[in-house]
Amino acid sequence: MDPNPKKVRLSGYGVELAIKSTEYKAVDDTDVKEGSNQEQQQEEDLADEVQGFVFSKLKQQHPDLAENLNEWRNFLLESTTKITPLKVWQLQNIAFQSAQRILSSSGHDALRMMRDISQNFPLMARTVVKTQVDDKVRREIRSNQKTLQMQYGIGPGDSLIMIDGLMIDTDVADPYMMLDLLRSEGKLLQGLYQLGVKGEDLNKLLRIQVESNEGDFAVDVRDQSVMFINDLEMDSRYQHWPSSIQEMLRPVFPGMMRYMRKNIFHLVFMLDPTTPDSDMMFQLAEMFYTNEAPVRIGIVFVVNEEADVDGHEDAGVAMVRAFNFALQDDGGDAAKALDLLIKIHNNADGNPITVDNVIDTFEKMFKGEDIQDIIGLGSDYDEKRPHGAAFFEKTALGSLPQVMLNGVPFTKQELEPDNFEETVVSSIMQNTPEIQRAVYQGKINDRTDILEWLMDKPRVMPRLNPRVLSGDNQIVEFAGQLDAKELNSTDFSTLSSTGMTASMIQNIKYLTKREESTLRPVTEWIVCDLATKPGRQLLHEAVKNLKSSNDVRVGVIHNPSSAPNKEAHWLARAAYAVQETQTRNFAKNFISKLLKESNYQSIVSGKSKVQDYEVNGMNMGKFNKLFKSDDISIVESHQLFSGRVLGLSPGQRAIVANGRIFGPLGDEEKFIGQDFTLVEKLILATSAGDVTERVKTTKVGKIGDKDELTNLVMKLDALVAASPRSENRRELSHVEETHSVLILEPRSPEEPSFEIVAVLDPLTRDCQKWSHILLVLSQSLNVKLKVFMNPKDKASEMPLKSFYRYVFEPEMTFRVDSSSTAGPSAKFYDMPPDTLLTMNLLTPESWLVEAVRSIYDLDNIKLVDVETGIQAEYELENLLLEGHCFELPSGSPPRGLQFTLGTQNQPVMVDTIVMANLGYFQLKATPGAMLLRLRQGRSADIYDISSHDGTDSSANSEDIIVIMDSFKAKIVKVKVNKKPGKEEEGLLSEPDEAVPKAGGGGIWDSISSLTGGSGASKKQKEPSSEGEETLNIFSIASGHLYERFLRIMMLSVLKNTKSPVKFWFVKNFLSPTFKDFIPHMAEEYGFEYELVQYKWPRWLHQQTEKQRMIWGYKILFLDVLFPLDVKKIIFVDADQIVRADLQELADLDLNGAPYGYTPFCESRREMDGFRFWKSGYWASHLAGRKYHISALYVVDLLKFRKIAAGDRLRGQYQALSQDPNSLANLDQDLPNNMIHQVSIKSLPQEWLWCETWCSDGEKRSAKTIDLCNNPLTKEPKLTAAVRIVSEWGDYDNEVKRLQEKLYKERNQGEEEEVQEEEASPKKDDDHTEL
C-alpha cells in the first residue's frame, strides 16, 4: 500500500466570505512570512473576463503586451470591486428588483444571473437597485405567495425544493443525499419509460403512493373464544358517562380520550396464562380496567382445547376455570379475577406454574370454595376455554402473547411495558377521526352495533398471515429489455434475468373466475411442484379462491424438486397442455379435478387416466396431442426461472403477486384460501388499486387487449412497489406561471426527465447554495425546472452580507493539453480589496473539516494587504457518527454514559459522553467498519446494551458494527439497561470514581499529526507527591490576532503558577499556523494541551455568524467537551492577561454552584449609560442579582453534570435563539438569563479588571486584566494591550523570539530538503484540498 497516497479533492460544500464588522480593529499587525513552498496564484485561476474584456484572447493575440494587459485588468477590477453602502429606502424593493433582473434573462443565463446575484450580492447591489420592477411580475409574485402560504405554509423569503414531487430539506440536503434520490427516481423513470409511459403520463404514475403493508389490516375478533370482562354500555361502573355517540364530535383537549358509554375500542389479549409474558399482560389489563379507561377488554386463553381435560393435571386449564369462577360467581369482579391470575404468577416466583400454585392462591383468595369442583372434570366454569386455541390457529398470528385494538395486532416492540400504554392511547387517537367521520356522516348512530360495523370493514380478515404482511418481500424486476423467447426454446437458458422474466410474462397462461377478457389488477403466479402434496394443495387453494374474486388471475410456474421427466411430472404437463389448448373455464375446471387428492391418487395408482376427468365440451384431441408429446422443456424452463430469477431451490413453493415474492414457504407451512384473499386485498390496498385507476386515464391505458393491459398494470405495480416513498409526492397547484416563473424545458423532451420545482428568494442563504446546485443539475441531467420567485419585501438592512461559492461541478475539467485539472475548488475573483472578510466553510452535517495550509489569517482577510491572492487548503479529517441513547425501562437518556469507537484491532480510537438532550452523542469516525461499545469502567460495569437500530449488525448483537461507507450522515439509536444489582447506581453519583484518563482519543483527542500529541515534554511540570492536581485552562480563539493574544495569555498563566497546567482549545476555529506552533511552545514551556473538537448538533438551533458560534462553544457544550476525570475547568478569554496563580481560583469554594463568574464592574461611572443590565428586562429579571461577565469563569464539572446544567442551558438556548433579537451576547446573556435555574457563584471583583468598566484604582489588585472593547473610544486591541498592560510587550516579544527560532530552523531544514530533492528523482506530492 502506498504510504503517501494521492489525495482527492472533494465536492459538495459551500465556502463563505462574510463581511466583518470593523467597529473595533481586531487585525494582527505581524508581517506574514511566506515560506519557500508558498504557491503562487496560477494564471488559469485568474478571472478571464472583466467588464466585457476577455483577457485570455487578448494575450493570445498580443503576447508582447501581456504585462500591460495585466495592469489594465487590475485597473478595471479596482473600479468594479468597491462596495457602495445603500440607504434604507434603496433596500425596500431590492428583493423584487433582484427577481426582475433574473427574469429579464432566459434559460441557463437566468440561473447564472440568480447565482451571481445571490453569491456576489454585496458588489452587485448597487446595480440591482437601478432595476425597474414590472407591475405584472410584482402582482403575479404576490398572488403566488398567497397560494404558497395557504398550500405549504411558505411565507415570503422562505424556500422550497421538490424533485418529482418529493420535498427536499434545503438546510441539510447535499449532493450525496441528492445522488441517492436521483438514482432511485431515475430507475423508476427509466422503468416507466421502458414500459411505454411517456410525457404527462409519467407524472401521473409517479405520484402513486405505495401504502405500508402493516397497521391497517385487522383480525375479526367476533369469535366465541373472546371473553370480554367489561361492557361500557351495560356495566354500572360507567353509568356516570354520557351515552350518546354524538359525544365523539365534542371538542376535547389534544391527547385526551373521550369517555362515553359506547363499546367503540376493543382491546383483546390473546395469551397462554401460564407463560411469564402473560403476567405483565394481566397487569396491564388490570391497570386499564381499574383506571376506567374507555376501552372494552377481552381475553382469549390459548390452552388445552380437549373437552375432557382435568384441571388437576393441566395448570393452564385450572387457571382459566378459576378465572371464570372469579368473574362469574364472585360478584363479577373483573379486577379480582385479574388479580387472581397475577397472584398465581407471584406464587410461582418465576418458576413454571403448577396446579399447586393455582390451588394455593385460589384457596387464599376464595376461602370455603370447593376448588376441586371448579377446576376438575365436568366443571361449570369451562366457558370459551375449548375455542381459544382454534381461534389463535385460525388467525395465523404466529406467536403469543398477542394484543389487538379493534382487531389490529400490536408489534412486539409495542407490547413492551414501557411502550404499551402509549401504544394503546395513540392507537385510539389514530382511530378516532374515522369514527368521528362515520358519526358525522350518519353511518354510526346510537343503535349501531359498533363492533359489527368495525369488523365488516374491507381490511378486516379472519386470518392475518405474517408471511403476507411482513413487508420485506423481494420484488421481481419486470421492466427491462424485452428480449422474450418461447419457453420451450433452447435459448431460454442463455437469457438474462430480465429476459427470462419477459419471456415468462409473454408465454404464461392464466386461470380466472370468468372467461371474458377484462382488466384484472392482481396477478398471482403459484410456484410449486405438482408432484408433491403441498404443491398441489397450494395451487388448489389458489384456484378455489378464484370463485370469490374476478380481480385476480392465477398462473402456474412449475418448480419440480427433481430433474423434470415425462412420467413423474405428468400433472405439470397436463396443466400446461389444458391451458394451451382450452378456454380458461375448461382449463380451470379440469385442473381443479386433477388437483383433488383422491383423483390424483387414482391416476397414480392406475385406476383411472387423466382423460377420465374431461370437462364436458373440451377439445380432447388438441389436449391429447400436446399432453402426449415428449417435450418436457416447459417444465425445465420454469424450474430454471424459479432458481435464477425467484431465488428458489428446486421443489420450494412461493406466491408471486404483482412481482412481490411471498416465500419460500416452509415444508409444513399452510397457505390457505383466506391467505390468498389477504394477498389480493394487500396488493390492491398498497398500490395496485391506485395504479389501475391511473392507468385508465393515460394513453397507454387505451390498449384494446385487456390481457395486455393487465400485464401492464402488473409491471407498473411491481415497479412502483420496488421504489416506495414514505412521504407523499406533492405538486404546486393554483399558481400563475406567466411572468414570474423561470422555466427550463428538458434538453431531450422525448426522454424521461426529472421535474424539479424550486421556490426561492434570490437574496437568501438558501439561494446562494441552491442556485448553483440547480444550475449543475440542469446541465448534467434531463431536467424540467421551474423556479418560482419568492422575494421578501421591505428589507431594512442588507439581506446578504457575504460572498459565497458552492463547490459542485457538473463534470471533470481538463486543461488545454488534455490533462485533468487539480480538481474542484472554490474561487473568489474580483473581491473588494478594502473590505475585511472572514472565511467560513459550510460542509455537510457529517463532515469534520479543518484548515491544513494557509499562512494568512482566514478570519481577517483584507486583499489590499496581499500581493498574490490568498490560498487556503482544508482537509476532511473525519466523518461524524451521531447517535441517540436511551435507558430501559424508563426511556430517559443515561447522562454521563460513555461510548468508544474503534476497530477490531484498535477497539478504542475515540470516545464520547451521552447528553441528556435527546440522549445525543457524537463520535469521530473514519471510513470502514467501526466497532461501537460501552467504555470500560463504570459505563460498562453498570450498563449493558440491550438493542440498537441504524447499525450494520443484528439488533441483539453485543458488538455494534457501524460501516462508514458514505459521505452522508450516519445516525444510530442505542438502548441500554442496567445490570442486575446495579439499578440504584448512577454514573455521576460518585465523584471520586476512577475514570480512564483522556488522551487516548475521543472528542478530546489531541492532534496526532502534531508532534507529540498532547504536548507532553521533558520540561513538563509533574504533579507533586502531595497530590497536586493539574490546572485545566480552557480557551477559544479565531484569527491570527486572537491567537497572538492566546499565546500571551498562556504565557501569563504559566509565569504565575507552580501547578502543572493543561490547556484545552476548541480545534474548530484554530488556524494551521497556531496548530503548527503549539507543540513547540508546549515543548519549550512544559505544559500539556488538548485540541477538543465538537460538531454543533444538527437539532440545536444553528448560528450563522462565526463570532456567535464561538460564543456558543464557550457555554453550550461544557458537559461533553471534557472527559469525566477533569473535575474543574477555568475558562480564560484569549485577550486576557493573568497576574495571579489560577490555582487559587481552581481551589475556590463555589458554595454548591456549578460555576463561578465575575460580576461586571460598576466603578467607572462615565460608562453608566452603557450598563444595559441596570434597567429594563435585565433589571427585572436579575431582581437585585449581579450581571456577570463571561471573560473568566470556573466550572465545577462534577456539579455541572450532576444537575444537568448543560442540558438546561441548551434547552433555554433552543427556546430563546429562535428570536434573532434574543441573546445578543450569547456567551454571557445565557448563563445570566438562567441564573434562577443554574446558580452562579459571584467571584471576588479582583479576579477580573477591565478598563472599560472598572476604575483605575482597582487595577492594582487585579488578578487578571481583560482587554474589553470600549464602546466610547473604540480603541484597537493591540494599542490598548500595549498601553494598559505593562508586561504585555515582554510576553509578546518572548513568544516572537521562539517563533523566529523555529522559522529559522524550518527554513534551514527546507533548504536541506531541496538539495536532497535535486539530487534524487522527483515525486508527486499533491496535497488534498476540499
CA 1227 – CA 1113 distance, rounded (Å):
8
**Sequence-ordered strand ranges (E) for 51-137:** 53-54
The model's confidence at residue 694, banded by pLDDT at 50, 70 and 90, is: confident
Helix or strand (DSSP H, E) at 125: helix 121-128
Burial class (CB in 10 A: 0-12, 13-18, 19+), 349: exposed
Kindly tell me if the per-residue pLDDT of 693 is higher than 90.
no
What is the mean pLDDT of the segment spanning 1106-1114? 89
Percent of the chain at pLDDT > 90 equals 41
Q: 849 forms bridges with which residues in the sheet?
A: 876
Q: Contact, 669 vs 467, CB < 8 A?
A: yes
pLDDT of 1156:
95
Q: 656 forms bridges with which residues in the sheet?
A: 525, 661
pLDDT of 1011:
28
Kindly tell me if the per-residue pLDDT of 1184 is higher than 90.
no
Q: Contact, 330 vs 336, CB < 8 A?
A: yes
Give the tens place of pLDDT for each residue, 440-479.
Answer: 999 999 999 999 999 998 888 888 888 888 777 888 888 7
Q: Contact, 294 vs 259, CB < 8 A?
A: yes
The model's confidence at residue 528, banded by pLDDT at 50, 70 and 90, is: very high
What is the mean pLDDT of the segment spanning 1107-1132? 90
Q: Contact, 410 vs 403, CB < 8 A?
A: yes
The model's confidence at residue 202, banded by pLDDT at 50, 70 and 90, is: confident
Helix or strand (DSSP H, E) at 642: helix 633-644
Helix or strand (DSSP H, E) at 1176: helix 1176-1182
Helix or strand (DSSP H, E) at 970: strand 970-978
Kindly tell me if the per-residue pLDDT of 1009 is higher than 80.
no
Cell numbers 398500490: residue? 687
Which amino acid does the sequence have at 282? Answer: F
pLDDT of 1222:
81
Helix or strand (DSSP H, E) at 219: strand 218-219
CA 341 – CA 357 distance, rounded (Å):
10
Give the tens place of pLDDT for each residue, 881-929.
Answer: 999 999 887 778 888 888 999 988 888 888 888 988 889 999 999 999 9
pLDDT of 1319:
56
Give the tens place of pLDDT for each residue, 612-668.
Answer: 898 888 889 999 998 888 788 888 899 999 999 999 999 999 999 999 999 899 988
Q: Which of 151-160, 197-206, 320-329, 424-433 has the lowest mean pLDDT?
A: 197-206
CA 421-426-429 angle, to 5 degrees, is: 135
Grid cell digits, residue 39:
504557491
Strands ordered across the beta sheet of 1264-1266: 1136-1138, 1264-1266, 1249-1250
pLDDT greater at residue 594 or residue 81: 594
CA distances (Å), origin 121, targets 4, 191, 579, 832: 42, 43, 73, 12
Give the tens place of pLDDT for each residue, 587-623.
Answer: 999 999 999 999 999 988 889 998 889 888 888 999 9
pLDDT of 48:
56
CA 595-599-601 angle, to 5 degrees, is: 100
Give the tens place of pLDDT for each residue, 486-519.
Answer: 666 667 888 888 888 888 888 899 999 988 888 8
CA distances (Å), origin 140, targets 143, 144, 158: 5, 6, 17
- Cα within 13 Å of Cα(361), Cβ side: 26
Kindly tell me if the per-residue pLDDT of 45 is higher than 70.
no
How many CB atoms are located within 10 Å of the residue 1299 CB? 18
Kindly tell me if the per-residue pLDDT of 329 is higher than 60.
yes
> Residue 1019: what are its φ and ψ, rounded to 5°?
-95, 0
pLDDT of 1294:
92
Q: Contact, 243 vs 262, CB < 8 A?
A: yes
pLDDT of 1054:
95
CA distances (Å), origin 599, targets 541, 573, 589, 595, 616: 16, 16, 13, 7, 17
pLDDT of 484:
55
Kindly tell me if the per-residue pLDDT of 524 is higher than 80.
yes
Kindly tell me if the per-residue pLDDT of 1000 is higher than 60.
no
Kindly tell me if the per-residue pLDDT of 308 is higher than 50.
yes
pLDDT of 32:
54
Give the tens place of pLDDT for each residue, 705-749.
Answer: 788 888 888 988 888 888 777 677 888 888 998 999 999 999 888
pLDDT of 1312:
59
pTM above 0.75, yes or no: yes
Which amino acid does the sequence have at 149? Answer: Q
What is the mean pLDDT of the segment spanning 1257-1277? 90
Give the tens place of pLDDT for each residue, 831-849.
Answer: 888 888 999 999 988 899 9
Terminal Cα distance for the chain, rounded:
23
DSSP string, 908-945: -SEEEE--SGGGEEEEEE-SEEEEEEEPTTHHHHHEEE
pLDDT of 1023:
44
Grid cell digits, residue 318:
385450572
Give the tens place of pLDDT for each residue, 848-879.
Answer: 998 888 888 888 888 888 877 888 899 999 99
Give the tens place of pLDDT for each residue, 915-968.
Answer: 888 899 999 999 999 999 998 888 889 998 888 888 888 766 767 899 998 888
Compute the chain's Rg from CA coordinates: 39
CA 1061 – CA 1014 distance, rounded (Å):
12
Grid cell digits, residue 68:
500591460
> Residue 877: what are its φ and ψ, rounded to 5°?
-80, -45
Q: Which of 36-40, 57-61, 768-772, 1200-1204 has the lowest mean pLDDT?
A: 36-40
Burial class (CB in 10 A: 0-12, 13-18, 19+), 1212: middle
What is the mean pLDDT of the segment spanning 1169-1175? 86
Nearest by Cα to 342 from 332, 356, 357, 355? 357
pLDDT of 1166:
86
Question: What is residue 52's three-state secondary structure?
Answer: coil
pLDDT of 1003:
41
Kindly tell me if the per-residue pLDDT of 995 is higher than 50.
no
Average pLDDT of the chain, as a whole number: 85
What is the mean pLDDT of the segment spanning 321-350? 87
CA 967 – CA 962 distance, rounded (Å):
14
DSSP string, 1152-1219: T-SEEEEEPP---GGGGGG-GGGSHHHHHHHTTPPPEEEEEEEEEHHHHHHTTHHHHHHHHHHHHTTS
What is the mean pLDDT of the segment spanning 1176-1183? 88
Nearest by Cα to 682 from 483, 466, 445? 466
Grid cell digits, residue 995:
475514570
pLDDT of 1008:
31
pLDDT of 31:
56
Which amino acid does the sequence have at 495? Answer: L
> Residue 493: what are its φ and ψ, rounded to 5°?
-70, -15
pLDDT of 4:
54
Kindly tell me if the per-residue pLDDT of 28 is higher than 80.
no
109 φψ region: left (φ > 0), alpha (ψ -120 to 50), beta (else): alpha
What is the mean pLDDT of the segment spanning 142-166? 90
pLDDT of 845:
87
Kindly tell me if the per-residue pLDDT of 1021 is higher than 60.
no
What is the mean pLDDT of the segment spanning 1182-1209? 91
Which distant-in-sequence residues (6+ apart) come within 8 Å of 115 by Cβ? 771, 772, 775
Handedness of CA 151, 154, 156, 160 (dihedral sign): negative
